[in-house]
Structure 1
Amino acid sequence: MQQTSPIEQTVEHLFRHEWGKLVAALTKLFGVHNLELAEDVVQDTLVKAFEHWKINGVPSNPSGWLYTVARNKAVDVIRQQKRGEEFARSFTHLLQSEYSLVPTIHEQLNEKFVDDDRLRMMFVCCHPSLSPESQVALVLKTLCGFSVTEIAKAFVCSYDTIEKRLYRARQTFREQQVDFELPAADVLDSRLNNVLMAVYLLFNEGYNSTHHENLIRNDLMREAMRLCELICRTKTVEHANSHALMALMCFNASRNNARMDDDGNILLMKQQDRSKWNRALIETGVFHLEESAAGETISKYHLEAGIAYEHARARDYAHTNWHNILSCYNLLQQLYPSPIIALNRAIVIAELHGPKEAIVAIELIEGKETLKNYYLLPAVLGEYHAQIGDHTKAKAYFKEAEGLTHSSAEKKLLKQKEQSLHRR
């Protein structure tokens, strides 16, 4: 497999790290109705960075270089627009005057404003005129730098479906003349759920990448945690669910150094060296879990964080409190029923009552047919049939699972499981 060059790796990192900041800052100037224009300027900036750095090397301050180029491109774009072009209401008169154009761009496209701009942009993307699916897709595209292909994989739907959602979202912003401002306090919380869902999807794509050559993508996970930390710090929204999600991400990210061996093989939790778990991240997770208790409701992030906490606090796999974990899954299934939650609950049942009981629980999952393209269903069934000695079914399930995952690391693990049955 072809390896990416250091320049490509640097540009990819900056793409993830700076994309949302630059798009948000430019949208503040251009207006939400010109969102696509803001994205085009950032895209051109990153293309120029790759071409220039490939020849001249990466500058000492690559982020600063990007901001300089983005400012210059923004000035050029505005000069090329018709004189009567409408930008953001508070900036149109400044951008239409040659006297104030350059100073305004340089003042506003500034790294000192990035956190405020990104926070506003997160909530703008979750405007109530958009469907929840479009809101999340827009956050992933606009603030997180996801490609349309990556979003489609995260949603398990087609490329064309995501393209249409993004097009309709931008069209709605133009028609409704949406402003680049935080909404009123009484509607902030209603938009927060979709903002958190977008952050959660971003983290999950980093934790278990669906398409990349690396199973674990720390850059995506760090970006998701940065966005969530930004939400936790703002004083204008209720923080309980944000802290719960932050706790969940900290607990899960703490295991990264132990999830793969030196040969690129996946190590399941039972096989992991817990001395490699990041204790500082676990402590940060505990802090956020405690902070999340201040709210009056319990979200799926609270319950999932509770499950992750039980794994984090167990000194080894044998001392995992599976009863507490099953209680969390029972409540999750009651409050947020889904076939995936039911499948994960069956895995816990296997730990407590054995593989036969788990197979029965899987057979009873309501809506199980929706998991027909989800590799983990046959992978789990393969594992449990192998444990009860039905190697013929186990091999068939492992082979089916291998055909459903795009991850080379997961394919390798499933192949190893299948081959181990031939040796028995």
Structure 2
Amino acid sequence: MSTHINESIDHLFRREYSRIVSLLTSKFGPVHIDSIEDSVQDALYKAMTQWSIKGRPEEPNKWLYRVAHNSIIDKLRRDSKSEEYLPEKEKKTSSTLEVDLSDGLEDEQLQMIFACCHPSMKETEQLMLSLKLLCGFNNKEISRALLKEQEAVKKALTRAKSKFKTEIGSLRIPHSNQLASRLDGVLKVIYLIFNNGYTALEGDNLLKKDVCEDAIRLAGMLYQHEKCNTNQTRSLLALMCFNFSRFNARINEVGDMLTLQQQDHNKWDTDLIELGLRFLSETGNSSTFTQLQLEAAIAREYAVAPNFETTNWRVILALFDLILTNNTSVVIALNRLVIVDQVYGTQTAYERLLKLQDKSLEKNYLYFSIKGDFEKKLKLEEYKTSLNCAVDLTDNLKEKEFLKAKLSN
């Protein structure tokens, strides 16, 4: 099969996966989630084998749904030897299936993500299950996204699916008295989905545009739902819009990564920036700010700067300091040091970097990448060792090329 057809099917599958899984789960129930996943995978396999020979159908999304639907019907019939498990409407219409994939699916997908974030599950289980069911990530992708061993991910997903089958009777949006407490978990999931697409943790395709768009779409569903349209939801939408506005400017004509300094601001999507500004303005003023609001405010400073040199680094540094008052994450500390470099100079930033104490730094490619950058600026020979460590610690081929280019320049 040609690369073009493979990419076309992958694009379609990424877009339709959660829609089909959500609709089938709504019809057949969470208890059959394993069969539903298998059926959707069957549909993808058949698309890959048949479309290269017969051509792509006029309505590929309906084709995928129909094949997945018929596949689960067959699986459940084989398992039960009867039709007692089938919803009444499926007994009557399964042989002549017609479906409007635009009818009510947003509600079902919104219900699905709340189901994946059920309070009976641990937070990491919620994240893993959502990545699995809403984006179709495999175990390796999930382990990279959450910095977990693959075996730990496999066990956690088994536990999460067990709870999903037993605790979720049917898909629905939580009642008002439960909604607020559940919404934070949902937003964390959506943010992780976006970051996974934006940074594309491994493989040749550094920037997975489909995944980013899917995360923004899911957050947009929350925004459209009266009781889910909160400051946190609007902050997340603002943050994603600001970051996504730079998507097309992050690589050059031959597919190489570009730093923020190298990017052409004229290629940034001004419509997305305006949308981000609108969402951020809707969060209002407060004496206290959430981390999402502060991260969105940082992204705003990058987005509105006419060029790299005029970026308001001191404001960004102050915003990072506010985040660190409540979150001492080493990743945030590392990103802050990049700003310290701009405000106080590389020597100061490097000295503070060496003072960081965290065992996870030994396997953190970002740490060695930043360390190598600082050392190269300071003309320290150690930069080669640091950048080589960063190369070894990332699986992303584009990131490897990016780091190796620094070694050769």
What TM-score do you get using the length of structure 2 for normalisation? Answer: 0.93
Is structure 2 residue 117 aligned with structure 1 residue 119? no
1:41 maps to a residue whose letter is S
- Hey, what does 1:102 align to over in structure 2? 94
Q: Using the TM superposition, give the Cα deviation of residue 77 of structure 1 relative to its aligned residue in structure 2, in angstroms.
A: 3.5
Residue type of the alignment partner of 2:69: R
Distance verdict in 2 for CA 1:374–1:288, change over 3 Å? same
Tell me which residue corresponds to 1:182. Answer: 173
Cα distance between partner residues in 1 of 2:287 and 2:110: 24
Separation in 2, partners of 1:294, 1:34: 46
Matched, 1:397 2:386: yes
1:378-397 per-position Cα deviation (integer Å, ceiling 9, x unaligned) = 1111111222221x111211
Partners of 2:30 and 2:165 lie apart in 1 by 7
- In structure 1, C-alpha distance between the alignment counterparts of 2:39 and 2:393, rounded to whole Å: 37
Aligned length: 409
State which of 194, 200, 211 in structure 1 corresponds to 2:191: 200
2:378 pairs, out of 388, 392, 398, with 388
Matched with 1:137 is 128
For the residues of structure 2 that align with 1:81 and 1:294, how far apart are their CA atoms?
57
| Paired AA for residue 192 in structure 2 | L
Cα 1:258/1:176, change in 2 over 3 Å: closer
* Letter of the 1:70 counterpart: A
Aligned equivalents of 2:249, 2:134: Cα separation in 1: 30
Partner Cα distance (2:119, 2:183) in 1: 11
The answer (yes or no) to whether the contact 2:252–2:258 under 8 Å persists in 1 is: yes
Match runs of 1:341-360 below 5 Å: 341-360=332-351
> Letter of the aligned partner of 1:102 in structure 2?
S
Given that 2:375 and 2:382 are in contact with CA atoms closer than 8 Å, whether structure 1 keeps it comes out as yes
Rounded Cα–Cα distance in structure 2 between residues aligned with 1:43 and 1:294: 47
Cα shift readout 1:34-54 (whole Å, capped 9, x = no counterpart): 211211121111212222111
Do the aligned residues in 1 keep the contact of 2:115 with 2:164 (CA within 8 Å)? Answer: no
2:373 counterpart SS class: helix
Range moving further from structure 2, 186-195 or 221-230: 186-195
Deviation per CA, 1:201-226, whole angstroms, max 9, x where unpaired?
Answer: 22112211111202112111111111
Q: Distance in 2 between matches of 1:27 and 1:49?
A: 21
Matched, 1:53 2:44: no
Unaligned runs of 5+ in 2: none
* Matched letter for residue 284 of structure 1: L
Q: SS of 1:154's equivalent?
A: helix
Superposition RMSD on alpha carbons, in Å? 2.2
Letter in 1 for 2:70: N
- For the pair 1:322 / 2:313, whether they are aligned, the reply is yes
Structure 2 counterpart of 1:411: 400
Alpha-carbon distance in 2 for matches of 1:272, 1:82 = 58
For the residues of structure 2 that align with 1:362 and 1:86, how far apart are their CA atoms? Answer: 63
Mark the runs of 5 or more structure 1 residues left unpaired by the alignment.
Answer: none
- Note the C-alpha offset of 1:78: 4.1
Matched-pair contact (CA < 8 Å) for 1:240–1:294 = no
Kept in 2: contact 1:94–1:104 (CA 8 A): no
Per-residue CA deviations over 1:119-143 (Å, capped at 9, x if unaligned) read 0000011111100000011111001
1:248 to 212, 225, 239: 239
1:237 aligns with 2:237: no
Secondary structure class of the residue paired with 2:256: coil
Give the residue type in structure 2 aligned to 1:260.
I
Q: How does 1:157-306 map to 2 (within 5 A)?
A: 157-176=148-167, 178-293=169-284, 298-306=289-297
Alignment-derived partner of residue 369 in structure 1: 359
Q: Which moved more, 1:184-193 or 1:241-250?
A: 184-193
Q: 2:67 aligns with which of 66, 69, 72?
A: 69
Indicate conservation of the 8 Å contact 1:32/1:179, yes or no: yes
Q: Contact (CA 8 Å) 2:115, 2:168: kept in 1 or not?
A: no
**Equivalent position SS for 1:179:** coil
Which TM-score applies when normalising by structure 1? 0.90
C-alpha distance after superposition, 1:308-343 (max 9, x if no partner): 100111111111111110111001111222111111
Partner amino acid, structure 1, of 2:402: L
Provide the residue aligned with 1:156 in structure 2.
147
Where 1:197 maps in the other structure, the secondary structure is helix
Mean CA deviation greater in 62-71 or 148-157: 62-71
